[in-house]
């Protein structure tokens, strides 16, 4: 299946496989497990549930079998059953970002002066970029230690995947921001846009968006799509993105 921009806005990660990603596509939902030790990397996606209790039990068992104690449901406005997501799924809203905006952009965004953006070129680039991401996602020290220990192997797995690119933003020669692009026939999905706290307010995030737009246009797919958190959404709105759906992030325990 080739996802549309709207499909990606609602359920992007249901369409993203990868060299170390396990995907279990079922009629009622999609389960996705990436070994990275954070609940946002164990995802229950695209739920179209008839029997919620059965689906919850099966999903918890699936993630428990992969060593997870906490995983995340992504419940969009297209999910069923409808109604209050936390009530239907008996799971707790993610405290960092409980609701994401599924957003699309189909016209050229503003350019930014004074920020250099380029593709990641070395392992050192990739590590510096992901360190910013870990801090943005409030990884615990223990999670960072585990992720750092596994990062080199992960980098080697992903570095030659042509469906994916990592970008870094530099100010005065220092890496202060990172973002990634996942390429689809309908456009480019924006992943992991993060800016170091000390560099915020200088246009770094916007420069990362523009660089990925330029790559989308170069590829002949001039459209961007993202599931934006509460910090990113206002910036993206100013760049011309429009919200087409909402996605609730709910944390659930396997125990």
Classified as helix, coil or strand, 242 is strand
Q: In DSSP terms, which residues pair with 102 in a beta bridge?
A: 227, 245
Phi, psi of 111, deg, nearest 5: -85, 160
Q: Residue 32's pLDDT is what?
A: 98
Q: Which residue has the tokens 């990362």?
A: 208
- Evaluate the omega torsion of the peptide bond into residue 141 and state whether it is cis, within 30 degrees of 0: no
CATH of domain 116-222: 3.40.630.30
Q: Are strands 70-76 and 42-45 parallel, antiparallel or unpaired?
A: parallel
* Interatomic CA distance for residues 118 and 29, integer angstroms: 36
Q: Taking residues 64-83, what's their average pLDDT?
A: 91
Is residue 211 predicted with pLDDT exceeding 70?
yes
**Tens of pLDDT, residues 123-156:** 999 999 989 988 877 788 888 888 888 888 888 9
75 alpha carbon, distance to own chain's centre: 14
Share above pLDDT 90 across residues of the chain, in percent, rounded to a whole number: 66
Query: By the 8 A CB rule, do 37 and 210 touch?
Result: no
**DSSP, res 14:** G
Is residue 83 predicted with pLDDT exceeding 70?
no
Query: By the 8 A CB rule, do 103 and 10 touch?
Result: no
* Interatomic CA distance for residues 8 and 27, integer angstroms: 18
Share above pLDDT 70 across residues of the chain, in percent, rounded to a whole number: 96
119 alpha carbon, distance to own chain's centre: 18
Taking alpha carbons only, the member of 44, 53, 35 closest to residue 75 is 44
């Amino acid at each position: 299946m080739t996802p549309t921009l709207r499909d990606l806005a609602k359920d992007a990660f249901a369409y993203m496989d990868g060299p170390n990603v396990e995907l279990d596509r079922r009629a009622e939902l999609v389960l996705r497990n990436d070994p990275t030790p954070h609940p946002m990397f164990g995802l229950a996606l695209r739920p179209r549930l008839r029997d919620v209790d059965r689906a919850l039990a099966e999903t918890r068992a699936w993630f428990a079998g992969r060593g997870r104690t906490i995983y995340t449901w992504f419940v969009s406005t297209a999910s069923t059953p409808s109604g209050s997501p936390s009530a239907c799924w008996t799971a707790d809203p993610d405290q960092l970002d409980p609701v994401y905006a599924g957003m699309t952009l189909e016209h050229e965004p503003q350019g930014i002066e004074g920020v250099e953006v380029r593709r990641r070129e070395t392992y050192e680039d990739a590590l510096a970029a992901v360190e910013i991401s870990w801090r943005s996602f409030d990884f615990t020290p223990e999670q960072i230690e585990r992720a750092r220990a596994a990062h080199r192997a992960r980098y080697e797995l992903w570095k030659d995947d042509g469906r994916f690119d990592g970008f870094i933003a530099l100010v005065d020669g220092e890496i202060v921001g990172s973002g990634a692009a996942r390429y689809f026939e309908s456009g480019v999905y924006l992943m992991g846009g993060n800016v170091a706290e000390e560099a915020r307010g200088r246009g770094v995030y916007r420069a990362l968006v523009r660089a990925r737009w330029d790559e989308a246009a170069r590829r002949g797919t001039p459209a961007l799509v993202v599931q934006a958190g509460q910090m990113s959404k206002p910036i993206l709105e100013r760049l011309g993105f429009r919200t087409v759906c909402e996605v609730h992030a709910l944390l659930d325990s396997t125990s």
